[in-house]
């Protein structure tokens, strides 16, 4: 932006200087002190001598042989010719200038001062004029006419073209510069503006192109990252919203099913359909089971929402997890005594002291066990508990011989409301909260939970719990 106009200014200055100085060599003198200027040329010396002779003896210039001699000398110094005018009459015209319109020659005196360049006979010449009086007091003028330097001539003749060319070049440069500036600045800004407008209107799907690595590029990059984040968060929000809607639909459905059953059985009793004590017993038993399911479902929902809002209190205490698990399994064996369930418990040697909340940990194991019992499709059900000790954590495993979980579902089963079996209203259908509640509780104990499974071969749910170190209990309860 700076360089180009400067360059043009220099070119213009050179051309103008050339126009008024006449010769490119003269320009060199501008930069040199006077003592270093070019030495006086032969022509100049002759010119000085002519001036001297004019002053001393103007009559000499009536002598044709003297004039011829001077003309000859001038011719030999370059393309220079001599013209002598007496009054209005040209008394000598160099043979080379034959046919020249002498009327165009500048007039006598100061006002007939000459332009460094003149066009004579369609030729550019530089004219030097010496005015004097002949002995008879008539006005005399001596013209030394030099064919102007060809470059200067060119400049003079082509000055309008050069000038127009210069302006065109300037316009072109300006146009090009404007184009590049607009390309590198205005276009990215306009893109950003458009993108911001799109964002305002809620359309976050179109990526913002990053065109460069400069500040604007970085700004565009920042915008793009913001767009991605916003898009992600909106997508999450939408998914969350979907989830909630689905939850409400699911809960309504899941609550409706047992209530319809209960209503049906109560109507049966009221209308006297349960007319024998056995029938009555069965009816009441069904009503009780359904009411218990309902109660459990509501509890689970309530628990999950409390965990979600982080409003569930945890009461941390030291627990020997091996003993705790033994007790649990014993209780479980008692509970499933009537069902065909084989329960195995392996506890490896180790230290299993942890700090945890008994009730909540029981909820975790129960949820896992319930799943296994619920989803096992075999006649002979097998549950095997395994407890082992890692350096800082203990590792709990529960394997079953159920249908297993496909690998794409494996990561998702810990998400809330996720059910691998999407069909609702089946006997097995739950709310899909069991494992997400378990995950939340395990995370509160600084552990992690995951599942391993081979389709058809059963499922293993594993979790780790941090072993109790010094002060752990205090830390956790605070
Ligand atoms: N042992 C298992 N064998 C096969 N599939 C399982 C097993 N455990 C969990 N799943 C799958 O993971 C899904 C999520 O389990 P989760 O316990 O979170 O929900 P749920 O059992 O459907 O409902 P809820 O436990 O709230 O009654 C289940 O729907 C089931 O498809
Ligand atoms: Mg479950």
- pLDDT tens string, the chain, 478 residues long: the values are 667 767 877 787 677 666 665 555 555 555 555 555 556 667 778 888 888 888 888 888 888 888 888 888 888 877 788 888 888 888 888 888 777 777 778 888 866 566 666 666 666 677 888 888 888 888 888 888 877 665 666 666 677 777 788 788 888 888 888 888 888 888 888 888 998 999 889 888 888 888 888 888 899 899 899 999 999 999 989 988 887 787 788 778 778 888 999 999 999 999 999 889 999 999 999 999 999 888 888 888 888 888 878 788 999 999 999 999 999 999 999 999 888 899 999 999 999 999 999 999 999 999 999 999 999 888 899 999 999 999 999 999 999 999 999 888 888 899 876 777 655 444 555 677 899 899 999 999 999 999 999 878 899 999 999 999 754 555 555 5
pTM more than 0.75: no
Token code pair at residue 425: 């209203």
Cα–Cα–Cα angle for 149, 152, 158, nearest 5°?
A: 135
Q: CA 325, 331, 337 angle in degrees (round to 5)?
A: 130
Q: Do 333 and 431 fall into the same domain? A: yes
415 lines ligand 1 (CB under 6 A): no
297 and 237 both lie in a single domain = yes
125 and 43 together in one domain: yes
Which ligand has the minimum distance to the alpha carbon of residue 459?
1
DSSP string, 234-302: HHHHHHHHHHHHHHHHHHHHHHHHHHHHHHHHHHHHHTT---SHHHHHHHHHHHHHHHHHHHHHHHHHH
For residues 78 and 146, is the Cβ–Cβ distance under 8 A? Answer: yes
CATH no. for residue 112?
A: 3.30.450
Compute the distance from residue 419 Cα to the ligand 1 centre, in Å: 6
Ligand 2 center from residue 174 Cα (angstroms): 74
Q: Which residue range(s) make up the domain with 42?
A: 23-148
Ligand 1 centroid from CA 145, angstroms: 114
| CA nearest neighbour of 208 among 195, 226, 190 | 195
- Residue with the smallest CA separation from ligand 1 atom 9 is 371
Question: Is the distance from the beta carbon of residue 420 to the nearest atom of ligand 1 less than 6 Å?
Answer: yes
Return residues with CB closer than 5 A to ligand 2 (ion). Answer: 371, 430, 434
Q: Does 99 fall in a domain?
A: yes
Ligand 1 atom nearest to CA at 437: 18
CB-ligand 1 contact for 438 (6 Å cutoff): no
Q: Are 344 and 462 members of one domain?
A: yes
Is 153 within a domain? no
Which of 419, 426, 429, 460 is the pocket-test mutation for ligand 1 (most atoms within 8 Å of CB)? Answer: 419
Can you tell me which residue has the tokens 């007091």? 137
Ligand 2 centroid–CA 449 distance in Å is 14
Give the Cα separation of 183 and 80 in Å (integer): 57
- With respect to residue 419, please indicate whether it lies within any of the assigned structural domains: yes
Backbone angles phi, psi at 84, to 5 degrees: -120, 130
In the listed set 113, 148, 183, which residue is the last one of a domain according to the structure? 148
Q: Residue 324's pLDDT is what?
A: 97
Phi, psi of 89 (to 5 degrees): -100, 135
Distance CA 478, CA 475 (A): 5
Same domain for 349 and 295?
no
DSSP annotation string for 7-48 = HHHHHHHHHHHHHHH--HHHHHHHTS-GGGSPPPPHHHHHHH
How far, CA to CA in Å, does 241 sit from each of 119, 247, 293? 91, 10, 27
Candidate from 363, 435, 450 with most ligand 1 atoms within 8 A of CB, to mutate: 435
Residues 331 and 472 in one domain: yes
The residue whose CA is least distant from atom 25 of ligand 1 is 434
**Gap between the Cα atoms of 75 and 96, Å rounded:** 10
- Look at residue 400 and give its three-state secondary structure: strand
Asked whether the beta carbons of 15 and 155 are under 8 A apart, the reply is: yes
> What is the domain count for the chain?
3
Distance 293 CA to ligand 2 centre (A): 13
380 alpha carbon to ligand 2 midpoint, in Å?
20
CATH number assigned to the domain comprising residue 288? 1.10.287.130
| φ, ψ for residue 43, nearest 5 deg | -65, -45
Starting at the edge strand found earlier in the chain, the sheet holding 341-347 runs: 341-347, 381-389, 393-400, 458-466, 449-454
Give the residue ranges of DSSP H helices in 63-183. Answer: 64-77, 150-181
Residue 6 lies in a domain: no
CATH (domain of 321): 3.30.565.10
| φ/ψ (deg, to 5) at 95 | -55, -30
CA 263 to centroid of ligand 2, rounded, Å:
26
Residue 426's pLDDT is what?
46
Distance 426 CA to ligand 1 centre (A): 13
* Rounded Cα–Cα distance for residues 411 and 453 (Å): 11
Taking the alpha carbons of 409, 412, 414, 416 in that order, is the dihedral positive or negative? negative
Structure tokens at 102: 């002498």
Which residue among 251, 299, 413 has the greatest number of ligand 1 atoms within 8 angstroms of its CB, and so is best to mutate? 413
d(CA 155, CA 258): 106
Using the 3D structure, point to which of 128, 148, 168 is the last residue of a domain: 148
> For residue 450, is it within any domain?
yes
Mark whether 48 and 137 lie in a shared domain.
Answer: yes
**Is there an atom of ligand 1 within 6 Å of 416 CB?**
no
The number of angstroms, rounded, from the C-alpha of 181 to the middle of its chain's C-alpha atoms is 19
Same domain, 301 and 319: no
Q: Whose CA is nearest to atom 29 of ligand 1?
A: 419
Half-sphere exposure for 9 (CA within 13 Å, toward CB):
5
Q: CB atoms < 10 A from the CB of 46, how many?
A: 17
233 and 319 share one domain: no
**pLDDT for position 121:** 67
Helix (H, G, I), strand (E, B) or coil at 2: coil
Helix (H), strand (E) at residue 409: helix 407-410
Q: Which of 148, 168, 184 is the last residue of a domain?
A: 148
Say yes or no: CB of residue 300 within 6 Å of ligand 1.
yes
Q: Are residues 124 and 221 in the same domain?
A: no
- Is there a domain that residue 460 lies in? yes
CB atoms within 10 A of CB 385: 21
Beta bridge partners of 145: 81, 127
According to the model, what pLDDT value does residue 34 have? 56
């Amino acid at each position: 932006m700076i360089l180009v106009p400067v360059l043009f200014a220099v070119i213009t200055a050179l051309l103008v200087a050339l126009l008024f100085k006449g010769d490119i060599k003269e320009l060199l003198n501008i930069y040199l002190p006077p003592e270093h200027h070019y030495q006086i040329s032969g022509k100049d010396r002759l010119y000085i001598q002519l001036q001297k002779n004019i002053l001393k003896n103007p009559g000499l210039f009536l002598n044709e042989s003297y004039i011829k001699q001077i003309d000859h000398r001038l011719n030999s110094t370059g393309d220079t010719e001599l013209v002598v005018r007496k009054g209005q009459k040209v008394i000598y015209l160099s043979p080379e200038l034959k046919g020249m319109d002498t009327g165009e020659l500048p007039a006598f005196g100061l006002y007939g001062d000459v332009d460094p360049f003149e066009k004579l006979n369609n030729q550019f010449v530089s004219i030097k004029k010496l005015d004097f009086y002949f002995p008879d007091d008539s006005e005399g003028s001596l013209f030394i006419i030099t064919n102007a330097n060809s470059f200067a001539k060119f400049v003079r003749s082509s000055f309008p073209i050069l000038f127009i060319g210069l302006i065109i070049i300037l316009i072109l440069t300006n146009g090009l510069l404007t184009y590049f500036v607009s390309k590198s600045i205005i276009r990215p800004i306009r893109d950003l503006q458009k993108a911001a407008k799109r964002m305002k209107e809620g359309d976050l799907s179109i990526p913002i192109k990053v065109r460069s690595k400069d500040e604007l590029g970085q700004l565009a990059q920042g915008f793009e990252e913001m767009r991605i984040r916003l898009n992600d968060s909106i997508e999450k929000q939408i998914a969350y919203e979907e989830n909630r809607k689905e939850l409400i639909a699911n809960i309504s459905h899941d609550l409706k099913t047992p209530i319809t059953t209960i209503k049906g059985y109560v109507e049966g009793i009221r209308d006297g359909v349960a007319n024998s004590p056995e029938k009555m017993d069965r009816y009441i038993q069904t009503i009780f089971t359904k009411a218990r399911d309902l109660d459990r479902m509501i509890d689970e929902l309530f628990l999950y929402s409390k965990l979600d809002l982080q409003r569930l209190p945890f009461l941390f205490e030291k627990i020997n997890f091996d003993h705790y698990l033994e007790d649990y399994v014993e209780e479980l064996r008692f509970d499933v005594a009537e069902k065909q369930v084989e329960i195995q418990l392996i506890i490896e040697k180790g230290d299993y002291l942890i700090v945890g909340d008994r009730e909540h940990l029981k909820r975790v194991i129960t949820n896992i066990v319930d799943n296994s019992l619920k989803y096992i499709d075999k006649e002979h059900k097998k549950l095997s508990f395994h407890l082992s000790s890692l350096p800082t954590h203990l590792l709990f495993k529960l394997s079953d011989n159920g249908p297993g979980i496909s690998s794409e579902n494996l990561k998702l089963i810990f998400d809330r409301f996720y059910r691998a079996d999407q069909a609702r209203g089946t006997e097995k259908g739950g709310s899909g909260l069991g494992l997400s509640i378990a995950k939340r509780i395990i995370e509160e104990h600084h552990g992690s939970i995951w599942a391993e499974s081979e389709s058809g071969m059963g499922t293993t749910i594993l979790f780790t719990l941090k072993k109790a170190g010094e002060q752990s209990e205090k830390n956790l309860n605070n």
